[in-house]
Amino acid sequence: MQQTQPKSPTKIPSDPLQRAWIALGRISQSVQLHVAIALKDAKLPDLQWYTVLWELERAGQPTRPKDLAVPLFILPYQLSRLVDRMEKEELVSRIDCEEDKRGHLLELTVKGLALRKAMWAVYAPAMQQAMGRITDPEALKLAELLYKLGDIENPHGS
C-alpha cells in the first residue's frame, strides 16, 4: 500500500499552503470515495443520508430543518428535497411544529434508527480501513491542524 504510481513527474508547487491545499483535496476525496463505495456495495444510502439520521438521533428530539441545515452544510432547498426522499422511505417524518406554523419538526422513525445502525456497521470499518495508516497521536495532531487551518471551531478546544 506504499509505492504506487511511480509515473507522472507531478510538478508540485513549493508553496507550503498550496501543497497542503492539494493534499487536502486529494486525500479527502479519496477517503470519502472509499467509504462511499463501501456503502454503495452494501446497497445502503450515501453519507448524506447517514448524517441526517445521525444528527436527528444525536439531537434526541424532533428538530427543525433550519437547525439541521447548518451542521449538514447544505442549503434549505437541498434539505427540503433530501427530506422528501427520506420521508418517502419512511426514515424520517415531518410533524407539526406548534411554535412556528411555517415549518415543522423532523422526527427519526424506528426504521430510520435501524438504518443508521446498519449503515454504521459498514461505515465504521470502511473509515477505519481508509485511514488506518496513521497512529492515534498522528490522527489527533491531524485533527488539530485541520481545525486550525479552517475557521471552524475545534469541538475540543485547542
How far apart CA 130 and CA 26 sit, in angstroms, is 13
Report if residue 64 touches DNA, rule: CB under 7 A.
yes
Applying CB under 8 A, what is the total number of residues that bind a copy of itself? 57
Of 73, 69, 72, 118, the C-alpha closest to 91 is 118
Member of 13, 25, 71, 76 binding DNA (CB under 7 A): 76
Of 128, 126, 84, 127, the C-alpha closest to 106 is 84
Residues 27-86 that bind a copy of itself (CB under 8 A): 27-33, 58, 71, 73
Contact of residue 43 among a copy of itself, DNA, none (CB under 5-8 Å per partner type): none
Secondary structure letter of residue 63 according to DSSP: B
How far apart CA 27 and CA 146 sit, in angstroms, is 13
Q: How many CB atoms lie within 10 A of CB 38?
A: 17
Amino acid at 10: T
Nearest distance in Å: CB 43, a copy of itself = 20
Nearest distance in Å: CB 90, a copy of itself = 26
Amino acid at 135: T
Q: Which of 14-22, 54-62, 73-81, 112-120 is the region at the interface with DNA (rule: CB under 7 A)?
A: 73-81
How far apart CA 88 and CA 132 sit, in angstroms, is 36
Residues 102-121 that bind DNA (CB under 7 A): 102-104
Chain residues in the site for DNA (CB under 7 A): 40, 64-66, 69, 75-85, 94, 97, 99-104
Chain residues in the site for a copy of itself (CB under 8 A): 1-5, 8, 10-12, 16-33, 58, 71, 73, 127-128, 130-134, 136-143, 145-156
